Amino acid sequence: MSKNKIFTEMLRFIRMKFRMFTENYKTAVKNGASVAGKDIKKAVEDRDQPFEEIVWKSFEAFKKGVLFAAKQLVDFGAEEVDPMKEKSNKNKRH
């Protein structure tokens, strides 16, 4: 296999993995925003509460959404790494 073909295959692989990452990132952020949005709506339902309490509840909801998105990204990453680890371990045994 020529060096040019190997390089082309590497670029194709990198491009594919980058697309997968961006899709997973987009999904995680969207899901995290959905989680945060539900809690923010709950936080502002009671209009008779102090402004500081609304801000605090909204901040907590935002934090919950960010953590939800981060966990999803970690899970997506683990799904990518596990098969590579298994393949590496299999190659070491032979």
pLDDT in tens, 41-68: 998 898 899 999 999 999 999 999 999 9
Question: What CA–CA distance (Å, rounded) separates 49 from 15?
Answer: 50
**Confidence label for 2 from pLDDT (cuts 50, 70 and 90):** confident
Domain range for 29 is 3-93
Instruction: Output phi, psi for 48, to 5 deg.
Output: -90, 0
Q: Count of domains in the chain?
A: 1
pTM of the shown model: 0.73
Residues 6+ away with beta carbon under 8 Å from 42: 57, 61
Q: What is the average per-residue pLDDT within 19-48?
A: 93
pLDDT tens across 85-94, in order? Answer: 676 677 776 5
Nearest Cα to Cα of residue 40 among 23, 65, 17: 65
